C-alpha cells in the first residue's frame, strides 16, 4: 500500500474540521487558535463559518483560558436553569 506524504502542503485539508492551536503553557491566556468551521459547527449558525478566511490565511484568534479572561472576552452568556 502506497502512503501519500503531504510535506509540501502541510495545511491542506483532507477530511473533517481542522483546528490549529499555538499554546503557551507558561501563560494559557496567550493561547491562539483557529478552527475552519468557526466557533460553532452547527449548520446555519452565525459563527459556523466565521473563521474560514482566517484558517486559509494562517491567522489566529486569542483563546482566553482563565475564568477572568473568559468573562472579560465573552460575547454572550448562556445560563441553563433546570425546571
Strand partners, 3: none
Classify residue 62: in a domain, yes or no: yes
Confidence (pLDDT) at 54: 87
**Which pTM value belongs to this model?**
0.63
Q: How many domains does the chain have?
A: 1
Q: Which helix (H) or strand (E) holds 71?
A: helix 67-73
**Mind listing the pLDDT tens digit for each residue in 18-48?**
788 999 999 999 999 998 776 666 777 777 7
Place 14 in a pLDDT band, splitting at 50, 70 and 90: low
The answer to the question of residue 72 being in a domain is no
**Residue 60 is assigned to a structural domain of this protein:** yes
Domain that residue 59 falls in: 19-66
Please report whether residue 74 resides in a domain.
Answer: no
Judge whether residue 3 has pLDDT over 60: no
Does residue 27 sit within a domain? yes
Amino acid at each position: 500500500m502506497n502512503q501519500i506524504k503531504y510535506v509540501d502542503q502541510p495545511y491542506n485539508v483532507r477530511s473533517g474540521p481542522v483546528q490549529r492551536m499555538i499554546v503557551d503553557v507558561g501563560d494559557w491566556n496567550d493561547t491562539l487558535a483557529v478552527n475552519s468551521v468557526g466557533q460553532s459547527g452547527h449548520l446555519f449558525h452565525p459563527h459556523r463559518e466565521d473563521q474560514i478566511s482566517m484558517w486559509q490565511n494562517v491567522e489566529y484568534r486569542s483563546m482566553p483560558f482563565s475564568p477572568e479572561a473568559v468573562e472579560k472576552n465573552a460575547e454572550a452568556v448562556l445560563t441553563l436553569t433546570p425546571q
